[in-house]
Every structure is written in structure tokens, then in C-alpha cells.
Structure 1
Amino acid sequence: MAKVVSTAAVSARNSVSFWTETVSDTFVDLECRSGGGRESIEGELAVQTLASLDLARVRASAQSVHRTPAGIAASSDNYYLVGVQTKGSCLVTQDGRSAAIGNGAFALYDTTRPYSLLLTDNFEQLVIRLPRTVLERHLPEAARLTALGVSPDPGAASLLVNTVKFLASEIDVLAPDVALSVSQGVEHLIVAGLGGLAGGIPDADRFSRRKLVQNHILENLRYESLSIRSMADQLHLSPSSIHRAFAADGETVMGWVWQQRLDRIREELLSGKHQGTLTELSVAWGFSDSAHFSRAFRQRFGHAPSELLRR
């Protein structure tokens, strides 16, 4: 049974705050602003769950929707949203790109990074919310495909639109095992539609992303808890995009982390400033296993760390 919420239940004066709260509860923490010269928002939102997917039908007056850094910091939501336009139009902006989607088209946006939607008056949009891991399992480069419109030409896009329209009205009659199969079919249609865009998108921001990750690593180099997941959470990047930033140069992220730690330890030993044990020094730079540290040091520099300590 769909859960339906409408601004008809509140006064025009309270409609924007009510709508913002409703949309945030349904998707992720968002900021909504009325548009089209209005001071209020009129809207209706119906949401249903289909196995791993949440499907919402949004009908409303003109507005802009913003996923802000503050909203991201205030929550741990880790989803992709797919907006399927069925009436009116929407301008999706994320990662420095913008895509205008009209009736029958769709676009992807990532809730772990800021984005905005500009929606025309009396629009209807069907929004699919799915966990990042679900989409990236089939499409590892999904984070690079945000704010790119998939046209309504015959193909995956039109199949997805027709399927989602059907689900919006018939989802209640699906048996659980059928619902799971249908949800997987929807995932594959999304992947098929976005997959056609992947080949033509250069990873132009790889170098800036690598520099961002490197700076974060150097600032947190001493912490044993430093990991791909902690970097992704704090930098609002996907783990796959962090891996890609280093893989193109034949490196791994954690390999670079260990190299930097070993270099700092060697510098400290050569300076003669360290007065404690090697174990104390290695622990201070994020190594939890002294044997692992000694092996890694010898492999990188060709001699044991104890030789520098004796000097």
C-alpha cells in the first residue's frame, strides 16, 4: 500500500516547511524552495517499497530542491536517486554538470555529494531510490554518470519509464518473489540506460580528486583507522572513484598510504629525533603490527629499520 502525503493538509504559509520535511523523510535530507513566483508549494508524494528499491511518485508545483553540504554532514544516507520525468521538466545539476530532462527522460544523482533540481510548474516525476552498493555492483563508474540525461528514445530509457509507470500503479498486486525479480529488472534497465553514457565521459577530474584524497591521507596519516571507507565517508566520494584516482597510475590507495608512512618513519629515524623503540615509532605512524612494519620497511628501502636506529 502506497503511503501518500499531501500539502493539502496544511496551510499555504506552512506548506514549504511541511513539503521539505516530507521530501527529506522520503529520500534524504533536502532543502526545498518554492518557485514560479509562488511563496508556497502544492504537492503530493506517494511512496512504495519494491524489494531493495523505493519508488516515489512526486506531483507538485514549481520548486527547486537542494542537497547541501550541511544536509550531507547531518546524515549518513548513501543512495543514488534516479529521476524519471513523466510531466513537465527538470534541470539536474551535480559535479559541475547540468542536464535538462523532459517527459520520458531520466537522470541519476548521488546523495553523497551536493546537487540541485529545478522543477517546472505542475510537474510529475517518478523517483527511484536505491543503495549505492546495489547500482555500483553492476555499474562501478556510476559516480561519474550523475547529471547526464538519458533520452526517451526507444531503448532502455523508454522501457524503464514504461516499467516504472506500471509499477507506480500496480505495485500492490505483486507477490514478494515477483517483486524481487521486478526490482532486479528495474536495476538492469537503469544500468543499461546509463551504461551507454559511460564510454563517452572522460574522467577529467581524476587528477583533482587524487590530489584531494592525497591531502586527506597526509592529514590523517598517523591514524590507524585511515581506510578507503573512512576517506569515502569524510570526502563524500564513492570508494570506486577513490580507487580509480590511483589505479590509472598503476597504484593502489592503501599502497600509497603505506609508502607515505614508511617515508615519514625513515625521515624521523635519519633525523635522530626519535628516542623510543621502533615499535613505538611504527605505532605512532599507523602500523599495528611491528613484524609487518619491519618487512615493509626492508622491502621499500633494502635494509632493516633497526640499522637506522643504531646510527
Structure 2
Amino acid sequence: MPAVPASATPPPLRQWTTDVVAPAARLDYWVGAICEAFLEMDCSSREAPMFDGALVSLPVETLSVNQVRASTQDVYRTPSGIARSQQLPFYLIGQAESAWHVRQDGQVAYLRPGDVVLVDSARPYELHFPDGVNCVSLQLPRVWVGQWLAQAEARGPRVAWRDQGWGQSLGALAVQLARDPTSAQALSPSLLSNHLGALLGAALEPSQPPTPSAVRSLHVRLCALLRARIDQPGVSAEALAKEAGVSVRTLHRAFAAQGHTFAGTLRKMRLERAGELLRRPQLAHVAVAEIGRRCGFADASHFARAFQRAMGASPAQWQRGG
């Protein structure tokens, strides 16, 4: 799994907190903060006299990971707010700890912690948090969503349930980011973007029962192509899909149909190859870092950590037969 290079400078976090203003001004400050961080919206709260809120925003390529922690509130995306907005992204929202509900296009979705919902900011909606907010709100550009969903502009709130299909994985990712948005930096931006897109498509638009032979054949072909390139750092789903003559969405669905992901398969192949090379007597003189490099790990420390987690032994111990 590619890591963010140690030399790379992490993107800057943007932060807002009501602690910087007097209690009487906090709700007004909060409305300004969510409009600046997201887009034009109105907000009310029955706890206005003692409102408390904090917002952290982390850019990830064209996406944005936003952690919101605040008092109970009701958020409204209105026609006038839409008219004032320059951008009309989608938002994928999930709460980590309490129930809430969404209303859009005359439909209401009641959500539990771990459920996630996709809402379209081009149409009015309401977000109601009766027990406070501890959520992640992932800002997704319309073009990006269109790359992963065939029916990107379907009406109503679109829910991925935490206990159904790939909604389990998508919900777990949302809860993780709600609790620690900086954990997004554990993956390279492109890998996180692809992983999120693949889960989004699989959870919201599950494919029809595939023709087993055709899907297995494509999966086998993709694995063969991937296996031939695991020594190359930065192998991407886009490049592999182009070589296979399929769309990125089709590639990810082929892995999903077998219960795997592109990123997980690549990581497993690289570590298995590394384990094989470390045990070859003729390579006993080759440094561990060089073995990692030959298996696509550009960073030696990341290789050592990933190998230890997967194999239960360090690369050096494995090389000695321990």
C-alpha cells in the first residue's frame, strides 16, 4: 500500500472553533464557519445560548474531509443558498455516535451511527442532529461522483446502511474519519480517492448478480497484470484499468465481486513477493530495504511496518528464517 512520502508536506488543515468568540455570538460564528467551510446554509439550535462547535477541514486532492463536532442543531440548504453558491458538490455524511435524520426531495432517511448518506447540494435539504454532531462530511465534486455512480443525480438522500453489503466498509471508513480526519493521510491521496470511490459505487449501486465466468476471468486478468507490475511504485487503478481496456469503475467492481479491493490485493501481492524474495538463499546478501524496493515499496520504514503487521515478523527476522 503506497504511503505518503516522508518528505511530502501534508496539506494544511483549516480549523474553526466557537471558543474564539463570546457565548452570545457563537451560533452566528458557527453559521459563518459552515458557510465558509462548506457552502451557503442556514443553521438553528435549541442550545443557542450555550452553543459549542469545532470544525476541521482537510483537503485530499479534489475532495475534502471535514470533521464536525458541535451542539444539537438543524441545518437547512435553501433555494436562496443554492442561488448564492458557486459550487454544487455532493456530501457524504456519517455520524460516529448518535442518530440523526436527513430530508431531501420529500424523502426522509433516519440514520444510525455508522450509516452514511449522500446528499446533493444542488437541491434543498435538511440535516437534523437532535443529540449533537460528531460526524464526517466528505465534500465530493460533481465530476468525481459522476466517475463512480451511474445515477449520480438520483433523487432523495441515498443511504449506505452500516449492516448491508459494502455499506459496512463505507460506514466504518466514515466513522474512522469522523473520529480522526488526519487518518486520511495514512494513504496517498490518489489511493484514498480511489478506495472511497470504489466503496461508494459498490454500496450505493450494487451491481446485478455478475456472470461468474466473465467476472472471474476479468479478475484473473487484472491480477495477472497487477502481479507483473508490483515492483513499480505508484501503480494506480487508472493505469491498470487502461491497460486492461476497462473503466476504473469496472475494475473496482471486479475486485469487489471477489470480496477484495484493488488496494488490498496490491498490498497482499507485494508482501507475498517480498516474503518469497527474503527467503531465497541467493538473495541473502541483499539489504531488506532493497527487497522492499523490488516489491514496490519506495519507503523502507513503511515496508518494514507493513511486513511486520502482515507476517508477524520483521523482514530481517523473516530473512533469517525466524
TM range (shorter): 0.5 to 0.7
SS of 1:149's partner is strand
Letter in 2 for 1:181: L
Alignment partners' CA distance in 2, 1:115 and 1:56: 19
The answer for the alignment partner of 1:13 in structure 2 is 24
Q: Would you say the 8 A contact 2:63–2:138 is kept in 1? A: yes
Change in 2 beyond 3 A, CA 1:41/1:150: same
Letter in 2 for 1:15: R
1:34 aligns to 2:45 (yes or no): yes
Letter in 2 for 1:146: G
Alignment partners' CA distance in 1, 2:195 and 2:64: 14
Letter in 2 for 1:99: A
By relative contact order (CA 8 Å, sep 6+), the higher-ranking structure is 2
The answer for the alignment partner of 1:170 in structure 2 is 183
Change in 2 beyond 3 A, CA 1:197/1:71: farther
Aligned partner (choices 98, 101, 108) of residue 98 of structure 1: 108
1:190 aligns to 2:200 (yes or no): yes
Residue 55 of structure 1: how far off its partner (Å): 0.6
Query: Once superposed, what is the RMSD of the aligned Cα atoms?
Result: 2.3
The answer for the alignment partner of 1:126 in structure 2 is 136
Residue 150 of structure 1: how far off its partner (Å): 2.1
Q: When the two structures are aligned, how many residues end up with a matched partner?
A: 195
The answer for the alignment partner of 1:71 in structure 2 is 81
Cα displacement string for residues 137-187 of structure 1 (whole angstroms, at most 9, x for unaligned residues) = 22131221531332111532221233344452323454xxx2111111111
Change in 2 beyond 3 A, CA 1:23/1:86: same
Letter in 1 for 2:128: L
Letter in 2 for 1:59: R
Residue 132 of structure 1: how far off its partner (Å): 1.0
Letter in 1 for 2:204: L
1:80 aligns to 2:93 (yes or no): no
Aligned partner (choices 106, 122, 128) of residue 112 of structure 1: 122
Q: Looking at CA atoms only, which structure, 1 or 2, has the larger radius of gyration?
A: 1
The answer for the alignment partner of 1:300 in structure 2 is none
Cα displacement string for residues 70-129 of structure 1 (whole angstroms, at most 9, x for unaligned residues) = 111112222000111112122111111110111100111111111110112233111110
Letter in 2 for 1:31: D
Aligned partner (choices 146, 159, 172) of residue 149 of structure 1: 159
SS of 1:99's partner is strand
Alignment partners' CA distance in 1, 2:92 and 2:128: 15
Letter in 1 for 2:94: V
Q: Would you say the 8 A contact 1:150–1:157 is kept in 2? A: yes
SS of 1:20's partner is helix
SS of 1:143's partner is coil
- TM-score, structure 1 length as denominator? 0.58
Letter in 1 for 2:165: G
Alignment partners' CA distance in 2, 1:166 and 1:89: 17
Letter in 1 for 2:58: Q
Alignment partners' CA distance in 1, 2:183 and 2:154: 33
Letter in 1 for 2:201: V
Q: Would you say the 8 A contact 1:62–1:119 is kept in 2? A: yes
Residue 3 of structure 1: how far off its partner (Å): 2.1
Aligned partner (choices 157, 162, 171) of residue 161 of structure 1: 171
Q: Percent identity?
A: 26
Alignment partners' CA distance in 1, 2:86 and 2:25: 27
Q: Would you say the 8 A contact 1:93–1:117 is kept in 2? A: yes
Residue 62 of structure 1: how far off its partner (Å): 0.6
- TM-score, structure 2 length as denominator? 0.56
SS of 1:109's partner is strand
Q: Would you say the 8 A contact 1:47–1:57 is kept in 2? A: yes
Alignment partners' CA distance in 1, 2:132 and 2:200: 25
Structure 2: runs of 5 or more not aligned: 1-11, 209-322
Q: Would you say the 8 A contact 1:65–1:116 is kept in 2? A: yes
Q: Would you say the 8 A contact 1:89–1:100 is kept in 2? A: yes
Structure 1: runs of 5 or more not aligned: 199-311
Alignment partners' CA distance in 2, 1:40 and 1:33: 13
Q: Would you say the 8 A contact 2:27–2:48 is kept in 1? A: no
Alignment partners' CA distance in 1, 2:158 and 2:125: 13
Letter in 2 for 1:170: S
